[in-house]
């Protein structure tokens, strides 16, 4: 598929943001099962458990997919960067010289 360089740059930013969001999800032990047990009476215990609603594998698979797409689009942009020439005024590439 051929797209404009501007579209590729925009997609790279979107993918980079998505990868960053998914990277932050696995913080603060989100995927740990935590439980506490308190003795209420001699025969009854009160158990409180915090169980994650999603699995780490679900987040990991999404992260891996978006990271791979980011690498693909970044490689295409870098290839264009090294093979594309643009026209600039001659003095753009010179250093400042005090007269």
Mean pLDDT for the stretch of residues 41-51 = 80
Of 80, 67, 85, the C-alpha closest to 9 is: 80
Q: What residue has token string 């999800």?
A: 25
Mean pLDDT for the stretch of residues 89-93 = 86
pLDDT of 57: 80
Of 96, 26, 94, 93, the C-alpha closest to 63 is: 26
Give the lowest-confidence range in 15-24, 29-38, 53-62. Answer: 29-38
pLDDT digit string, tens, across residues 3-23: 999 999 999 999 999 999 888
Q: Mean pLDDT across the chain, nearest whole number?
A: 85
Q: Assign 89 to helix, strand or coil.
A: coil
Q: Helix H segments across the chain?
A: 5-25, 56-83
Read off the pLDDT band of 29 (50, 70, 90): low
């Amino acid at each position: 598929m051929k797209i404009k360089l501007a579209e590729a740059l925009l997609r790279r930013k979107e993918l980079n943001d998505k990868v960053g969001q998914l990277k932050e999800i696995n913080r603060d032990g989100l995927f740990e099962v935590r439980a506490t047990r308190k003795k209420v009476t001699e025969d009854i215990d009160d158990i409180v458990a915090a169980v994650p609603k999603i699995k780490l594998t679900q987040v990991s698979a999404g992260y891996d997919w978006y990271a791979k797409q980011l690498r693909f689009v970044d490689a295409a942009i870098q290839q264009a960067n090294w093979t594309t020439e643009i026209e600039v005024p001659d003095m753009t590439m010179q250093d400042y010289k005090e007269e």
